[in-house]
Amino acid sequence: MATYNDIKEQFEKAEKEYEEAKKNLKEWEEGKYKGKRLDELEIELEENLNEAERKRREERRNRLYKEKEVLMKEKNDWGKQVREVQKALAEIGKGNEQIA
């Protein structure tokens, strides 16, 4: 059984990790070699490129999309964790001293 202090600790950790995940995603999106480069690659792929160059840029674009996907999942997972722990804290606030 988790006590109020246990859940509060979980909440603080989850909230910290969520903020860190948001920061990492923002830094990635604003980064010269990540988010900004992804936008540039999308534009470049609209140009008339030879097959080898198109393939190289598509591979780079796909790797960047994968990185972004991982960061977004991490942010979403921590956000979900924060909401779940907030609910548990609310239950304790209703008078339930321990949550199973």
Could you read off the pLDDT of 30-43 as tens digits, one per residue?
998 899 999 999 99
The answer as to whether 72 is a domain residue is: yes
H helix runs in 1-93, sequence order: 4-30, 35-44, 51-93
DSSP H or E stretch at residue 98: strand 98-99
The answer as to whether 37 is a domain residue is: yes
The answer as to whether 66 is a domain residue is: yes
Residue 81 pLDDT > 50, yes or no?
A: yes
The answer as to whether 100 is a domain residue is: no
Q: Distance between CA 73 and CA 22 in Å, rounded? A: 11
Per-residue pLDDT band at 14 (split at 50, 70, 90): very high
How far from 71 is each of 19, 64, 81, CA to CA, in Å?
Answer: 12, 11, 15
Neighbour-count burial of 68, counting CB atoms closer than 10 A to its CB (0-12 exposed, 13-18 middle, 19+ buried): middle
Region 51-65: mean pLDDT is 94
pLDDT attached to residue 100: 47
pLDDT attached to residue 82: 94
pLDDT attached to residue 67: 95
88 vs 41, more confident: 41
The answer as to whether 62 is a domain residue is: yes
Domain range holding 87? 2-91
Residue 2 pLDDT > 80, yes or no?
A: no
| pTM of the model as a whole | 0.78
The answer as to whether 96 is a domain residue is: no
How many structural domains is the chain composed of?
1
41 vs 91, more confident: 41
The answer as to whether 99 is a domain residue is: no
Q: Is the dihedral of CA 5, 6, 8, 9 positive or negative?
A: positive
